[in-house]
Amino acid sequence: MTATKVIIDTDAGIDDALAIFMALEAHRRGCLEVLAITTVHGNTAVHNVNNNVFRILRLANMLEVPVYSGASQSLVHPYIHGDEPFHGKDGFGEAVLSPQPPASTFLQPCHAVWALLDLVKQHSGEVVLVGLGPLTNLALALHLDPTFTSHLAAFYVMGGNTSGKGNITPSAEFNFHCDPDAAFVVLAKTSVPIRLTSWEDCLKFGSYPYSVRDELGQTKTAVADLMNKIEAQSRKRREEASKLWVTCDQLAMAWVIDDAKQKKVESECRKENDPNLMGFLGQQGETLVTATRTCHASVETTYGLTRGQMVVDDDNQLGNKPNVILMEDVNDSTYMKYLLMGFGADV
Ligand SMILES: [Ca+2]
């Protein structure tokens, strides 16, 4: 079995950065094939996201991965950032980093939405799509072609909340709050259930004391060095607030890699006992997401206190077809392996 083809839609972003490093390492190890990265506004303006993605690819020595620039604003209402965005004005914590060539030198000429439509059709039934930012590009793709998601092998999203707990407002998670209309469109029109990592999942399964982050940051790699620099500013704010390092996009990406690994282990490792796969990804039994539930979810789009809040219809009161698969339990030691892998540790 070949590697699982993945397209990453991102608003990179600090947690996106580590998630992408995890995916690139999984690519290197033959588990994923990162087919393309599409960018979207969110944590910062899309031109900063483009620069950040190229910095990640350059550091990973994988500039051959095509990058397509996407939506620069939300579908209906422009999103206005506060004075101190969590990821800094540039999305990378306003860290002083080495100069690099402008993103325009490397960007693909095609818009991200057209690239998404073309790539999923070209590889119909094979592509796993991972949404790590506001869902603007994906909603636009669905508007242009309602069959867009029917070509996917699987669909993963980091975003939304399951019990009304917010991070950007008291009741909304950032990605969904940034473009609630896009989230509404994607949840309403997807034809495959979305494996969704909610804010509450991040708090429950992806939060660690900063001592754990410090240990990871001591990995002697260029990735750890970059992550330490770009995370310094937000760390200060987080430590003052909750004292916890909360991983978000990393958890969603770990789910993607782990599902790909399970498939690959089933088809190949049993026969060939591939030491590379078995080594870094653990034994077959150590599945990351050990329990899920399937239900219908939508998003509040009206202006008010709950704008961008995801509404989960666990009891199916509205009689809608299930459209999300939610995490119920996660194997912590398996997740830690993926985080270590992202930092470039030899696991
Ligand atoms: Ca993100």
3-state secondary structure of 285: coil
Question: Would you say residue 96 lies in a domain?
Answer: yes
In the reported structure, the alpha carbon of residue 51 is separated from the centroid of ligand 1 by a whole-number distance in angstroms of 15
CB 56 within 8 A of CB 20: yes
Range of the domain at 52: 4-342
Question: Would you say residue 347 lies in a domain?
Answer: no
Question: Would you say residue 176 lies in a domain?
Answer: yes
In the reported structure, the alpha carbon of residue 98 is separated from the centroid of ligand 1 by a whole-number distance in angstroms of 23
- Looking at residue 56, its pLDDT comes to 98
In the reported structure, the alpha carbon of residue 11 is separated from the centroid of ligand 1 by a whole-number distance in angstroms of 5
Q: How many domains does the chain have?
A: 1
In the reported structure, the alpha carbon of residue 160 is separated from the centroid of ligand 1 by a whole-number distance in angstroms of 12
Peptide bond into 13 cis (omega under 30): yes
- How large is the angle between the packed helices 249-264 and 332-342, nearest 10 degrees? 100
Q: How far apart are CA 313 and CA 88, in angstroms?
A: 35
For 132-159, the pLDDT digits (tens) are 999 999 999 999 999 999 999 999 999 9
Question: Would you say residue 86 lies in a domain?
Answer: yes
Question: Would you say residue 297 lies in a domain?
Answer: yes
Question: Would you say residue 152 lies in a domain?
Answer: yes
- Looking at residue 273, its pLDDT comes to 57
- Looking at residue 305, its pLDDT comes to 95
Strand partners, 262: none
Token pair recorded at residue 277: 């796969």
For 241-281, the pLDDT digits (tens) are 778 999 999 999 999 999 999 998 887 755 555 555 555 55
CB contact set of 93 (below 8 Å; sequence gap of 6+): 14, 87, 229, 230, 231, 232, 233, 234
Burial of 89 (0-12, 13-18, 19+ CB in 10 A): middle
- Looking at residue 271, its pLDDT comes to 59
In this structure, what CATH number is given to the domain that contains residue 325? 3.90.245.10
Q: What is the DSSP string of 220-246?
A: -SHHHHHHHHHHHHHHHHHHHHTSEEE
Q: Which residues of the chain have pLDDT under 70?
A: 1, 269-285
Question: Would you say residue 11 lies in a domain?
Answer: yes
Q: How far apart are CA 295 and CA 312, in angstroms?
A: 7
In the reported structure, the alpha carbon of residue 250 is separated from the centroid of ligand 1 by a whole-number distance in angstroms of 9
Question: Would you say residue 286 lies in a domain?
Answer: yes
